[in-house]
Amino acid sequence: MAEIRINQVAKQFGDTHALHSIDLTIADQEFLVLLGASGCGKTTLLRIVAGLETASAGEVWIGDRRVDHLAPKDRGIAMVFQNYAVFPHLTVFENIAFGLRMAKLPQSEVEKRVNRTASLMHIENLLKRYSGQLSGGQRQRVAVARALATEPEVLLMDEPLSNLDALLRMEMRAELKTVLAESKTTTIYVTHDQVEAMSMADRIAVMNKGHIVQAASAVDVYRNPAAHFVGSFIGNPPMNFLDAKPLGDGWWDVAGTRVKGPVGGQYPALQLGIRPEDIVVHDAPSSAHPDSLSATVRVLEPLGSHLLASCKVDNQMLRVVLDSNASAKPGDQLHWSPVPDRIRWFDPATELALP
């Protein structure tokens, strides 16, 4: 059982705060993805769990052991690095066997485990080769096999796929997901690629400027972003945000149209958040849709599966996903309304979502 608990962990480099008091619990066998732009502290947090970096404050627990004072080798972890870090002077076999030899396992057990993990990662035929004779994808497989061979309680992965090309990345993504589901380890996976995060994670922790902004399932993070940042970071194209002024009694003025929203006079202004695909476009303003909004189409991007329209609403940007054979042209007026139960409200003062 290896639940990971991160309590109040903070990290400072000189005057810069890389991490502000992070609290996060990762359940046994959970696959947690740390997602964020570069410089948000996600790799630092991972390295603190690994023991490659020392936290300025806070505690790290793995299972029922406090590990933040332990060396990496005593933490029961294995790690996969972005640049693979396959030892160039050892064969693939010896690379995978490295951790097992350090643990002084008998030769028969070493061979058994190397062969099993190698076949799991489909590199059985490469065991005699050296790192220099492998492609990037193959090296990554060796790195994962080497980590899995030690049967760690906790597997830490630092952007393991970001050095691979797009097609290979998609293939490895699916494969890793299958392999890791079988291996029953608790996994922390760092990435800046939201597609990778959404497709693999049990839970995503979105990080920004050294804070965890939201930690929830992929669907939840997408549908119910806890903050403006999450809505604008996740989703391609990102969530639309439109300013709203209070009209009283739970009605709000969004670009000149009345929209039903949260009741309560404590907010001087709000922002309406809506995903580009949660917008219904009407043929023309009609009595059936008295509360529709209008937008001017600026740019159209045919993307195959759909048509992406970038519009202006009252001088604010609105992106709408249209059917791929829609007949809109730049300059057209678009009449639209948001799907009511997909609207999210944000407080511009705190940039957080309303509960």
Partner 1 sequence: MSTAAKMATGNVTGKSAWHKYVFTGAVILLCLWVLVPIYLLLVNTFSSPEDVSGFPKSFIPNIDTGSVEFFLNYAGVGQALWSSIKVATVTMILSIMAGAPAGYALSRFEFRGKETFRVLVLMTRAFPLPLLALPLAVMYLRIGLDDTVLGLALVHTMLALPFAVLITFSLFSGIPVELEEAAWTLGCNRFQAFVKVILPLVLPGITASAIFAFVISWNEVFAAAVLTIENRTLPAFLLQGLGNAPLHLKFAGGAVLVLPALLFIFLVRKYLFSMWGIANR
Q: Name the residues that contact partner 1, by CB under 8 A.
A: 50-52, 71-73, 77-79, 81-83, 85, 87-89, 98-99, 102-103, 143, 146-147, 150, 156
Nearer to partner 1, 147 or 322 (CB): 147
Q: How far is the CB of 300 from partner 1 (least distance, A)?
A: 45
109 or 323: CB nearest partner 1: 109
Closer of 46 and 204 to partner 1 (Cβ):
46
User: Which residues lie closer than 8 Å to 34 by C-beta, 6 or more apart?
Assistant: 42, 45, 46, 188, 189, 190, 191, 205, 207
Residue 34 CB, nearest approach to partner 1 (Å): 17
Q: In terms of CB distance, is 76 or 273 closer to partner 1? A: 76
Long-range contacts of 309-315 (CB under 8 A, 24+ apart): 309/334, 313/242, 313/255, 314/242, 314/255, 314/256
DSSP string, 266-322: T-S-EEEEE-GGGEEEESS--TT-TT-EEEEEEEEEE-SSSEEEEEEETTEEEEEEE
CA 344 to chain centre: 20
Rounded least distance, CB 127 to partner 1, Å: 18
Nearest to 248 by CA among 228, 264, 236: 264
18 three-state secondary structure: strand
Beta carbon of residue 152, minimum distance to partner 1 (angstroms, whole number):
9
Q: Distance (Å, rounded) from C-alpha 205 to C-alpha 32? A: 7
Q: Which two tokens stand for residue 85?
A: 């870090």
Please, what is the minimum distance in Å from the beta carbon of residue 107 to partner 1? 17
Nearer to partner 1, 109 or 301 (CB): 109
Give dist(CA 58, CA 72) in Å, integer.
17
Query: What is the Cα–Cα distance from 50 to 53, expressed in whole angstroms?
Result: 8
For the bound state, the minimum distance from the C-beta of residue 79 to partner 1, rounded and expressed in Å, comes to: 4
At closest approach, how far in Å is the CB of 72 from partner 1? 4
In the bound state with partner 1, the residue whose beta carbon lies nearer, of 13 and 251, is: 13
User: Of 76 and 338, which has the nearer Cβ to partner 1?
Assistant: 76
